[in-house]
Amino acid sequence: MGLHLLALSIMIARTCPERLAVLDWAWPSALLAAGLVVMYLAISDRRPKTSDRKGESGLRKWFTMRELAAVLLVLALTGCRPTAADGELEELRARIGELEAQLRRVEGTRLPVDYELYEDLPGDVRSWVDLFTSARVGAHRRFGDRVYLVASWPGVALSLSRVEVRTDEVAVVAWAGPAFPGRRPFAVGSVAASDWPSDREVNFRLEGSLLGFGNRLGLPEVPLPSGARIALVTPSPGQVVSSPLRVAGFATLFEAWVAIRLLDAEGRELAAGGAHAGFYNWDSFQTSLEFDAPPGTELVLVLEETATEGDAPPHGIRIPLKAGK
């Protein structure tokens, strides 16, 4: 019986349509060992004292020719797989990489961050970072295969501590220390774009009060002035404008609303409106004002908060303009 099973094992292994993948001859070796064990059982004279002499022993009832042949056949077919083509292997590796990236994006994961030196940043990344270095703000943007993070807080020495994936957000946590000469008040890091969970809101945190930066309207990004809460994209100071006047920019204001008025040189209101902006974070806003003024009229565009928190004075800016044709 053992010799027959040994022959059957070798035949099953050799008739596999392709060579065994990954482990190659591991399964034939296992089948060979199984055949040798069966051979030993077949030639052994030992029998349990409690066995029934009228039939096979209690032990051999579980190891009949048919049962062992079925076991060996299942083992052989389990291990017998065609070797994947090169293209299939590459596709499999790519899929494994995607699954690993998804695993890193689950809740509670800390993403690996590369801490970047400002002097070593690519030119386009450095120009983008320069937009935020005068304001208290955190921002992120993808460049190529990296997502860059910048956190800025004038007056302190800032470092990026960690990036955590949470249930409904990505938390970029910064650490602040005493400012000292030669230390910039901002920090830059980057994360692999394949690891970045783009389906979550990004919040920058420094003792619970570092502001984030959003751009839901896709406006051109502009430098954020130090200490300001409103940064205008258009119009620019001194610009000659006509009706309708497009007003767009970024703001972080109490109640997330920016009130907009257009005045003449005497303070008479020519148009008024408003737009939603950011509340806890910077965000983009945009609206249009229709007005009627003779060409050459001196104008003033006023943007301000409509309400404040506590006794703080409302924040606002005034931009001089001139009416065109």
pLDDT at 211: 65
Locate 18 and state its tokens: 């392709």
pLDDT at 202: 87
Side-chain-side CA neighbours of residue 245 (13 Å):
32
Domain that holds residue 237: 230-323
pLDDT tens per residue across span 265-279:
889 999 999 999 887
Of 79, 104, 137, which residue constitutes the final position of a domain? 79
96: in domain: no
Q: Which residues pair with 60 in a beta bridge?
A: none
Q: What is the mean pLDDT of the chain?
A: 75
Asked if pLDDT for residue 209 goes beyond 70, the answer is no
Asked if pLDDT for residue 51 goes beyond 90, the answer is no
pLDDT at 55: 47
Asked if pLDDT for residue 184 goes beyond 50, the answer is yes
Shared domain for 236 and 316, answered yes or no, is yes
Q: Which residue has the higher pLDDT, 16 or 225?
A: 225
129: in domain: yes
Q: Which residue has the higher pLDDT, 220 or 225?
A: 220
What DSSP designation does 67 have?
H
From CA 206, how far away is CA 211, in angstroms rounded?
Answer: 9
From CA 32, how far away is CA 2, in angstroms rounded?
Answer: 10
212 touches 138 (CB < 8 A)? yes
pLDDT tens per residue across span 81-113:
444 555 676 777 777 766 665 555 455 578 888
Shared domain for 239 and 198, answered yes or no, is no
Asked if pLDDT for residue 227 goes beyond 80, the answer is no
Q: How confident is the model at residue 180 (pLDDT cuts 50, 70, 90)?
A: low
Q: Which residue has the higher pLDDT, 192 or 307?
A: 192
Range in 11-15, 202-206, 259-263 with the lowest mean pLDDT: 11-15
pLDDT at 40: 53
Q: What is the 3-state secondary structure (H, E, C) of 127-194?
A: HHHCCCCCCCEEEEEEECCEEEEEEECCCEEEEEEEEEECCCEEEEEEEEEECCCCCCCEEEEEEEHH
294: in domain: yes
Q: How confident is the model at residue 20 (pLDDT cuts 50, 70, 90)?
A: very low
93: in domain: no
Burial of 171 (0-12, 13-18, 19+ CB in 10 A): middle
- Number of domains composing the chain: 3
Asked if pLDDT for residue 194 goes beyond 70, the answer is yes
270: in domain: yes
pLDDT tens per residue across span 233-265:
999 999 999 999 999 999 988 788 999 999 998
pLDDT at 181: 64
Shared domain for 238 and 280, answered yes or no, is yes
134: in domain: yes
Average pLDDT over residues 64-85: 52
Q: Give me the CATH number covering residue 277.
A: 2.60.40.650
247: in domain: yes
Asked if pLDDT for residue 309 goes beyond 50, the answer is yes
Q: Which has the closest alpha carbon to 281: 208, 206, 211?
A: 211
Most confidently modeled range among 86-95, 149-158, 176-185, 307-316: 149-158
Shared domain for 251 and 199, answered yes or no, is no
pLDDT at 165: 86
From CA 13, how far away is CA 32, in angstroms rounded?
Answer: 10
103: in domain: no
Tell me what percent of the residues of the chain surpass a pLDDT of 90: 28
Of 30, 63, 79, which residue constitutes the final position of a domain? 79
Shared domain for 189 and 247, answered yes or no, is no
pLDDT at 47: 46
Q: Which residue has the higher pLDDT, 31 or 193?
A: 193
Shared domain for 134 and 196, answered yes or no, is yes
Asked if pLDDT for residue 13 goes beyond 60, the answer is no
pLDDT tens per residue across span 53-64:
444 454 454 445
Most confidently modeled range among 7-21, 135-149, 162-176: 135-149
Shared domain for 195 and 120, answered yes or no, is yes
φ, ψ for residue 286, nearest 5 deg: -165, 140
111 touches 166 (CB < 8 A)? no
Q: How confident is the model at residue 8 (pLDDT cuts 50, 70, 90)?
A: low
